[in-house]
Amino acid sequence: MNFVSSDLARYAAYPDTISFQVDCRRYSWPLRPIKRIRGKNRYAFPEAVLAHVISVLRHMGISASSVAAILDRLDQITFKKALDEFEANLVEEVILTLPISRYFEPDDEGDLATVHTSIVSAHETLVEIDALYIRLTDISRGIIDGHI
């Protein structure tokens, strides 16, 4: 499933594609195209969901530059793997627990998970640290089904 920049701008709740692309470049959000067709960037399903995460964080009143710092705490490899499994109906939930502040070193082996495929593991992380809880199951299903 491929998405274009206007789709990502809509998922990120931006009024137009240009302002979304400007902020994406300015704040180095981790939205990378998978290929370019006829002069337009094409994005994968995880980038579409990540655009929605940007929308959620901005609606919480978090500035665009702080959104970039919070997204840096997200384990991108695990995030993409969880969404691939969700798309293939191997898991039923995708939940993010993004730490509010940095409690640990980035390459510490004991880092707590930021991407969960069960509510139980997400709540265990919330017991350990203060984190933003974002359930992506419904929006992901809507994007896959084409309702959004």
pLDDT tens-digit map of 57-89: 999 999 988 899 899 888 889 999 999 999 999
How many distinct structural domains can be found in the chain? 1
pLDDT tens-digit map of 25-48: 999 998 888 887 777 788 999 999
* Residue range of the domain that includes 112: 5-145
- Residue 65: the pLDDT is 87
pLDDT tens-digit map of 84-136: 999 999 999 999 998 887 654 554 545 678 899 999 999 988 888 888 999 99
Predicted TM-score (pTM) of this structure: 0.86
Where residue 25 falls (left for φ over 0; alpha for ψ -120 to 50; beta otherwise) is alpha
- Residue 117's nearest CA partner among 144, 85, 142, 147 is 85
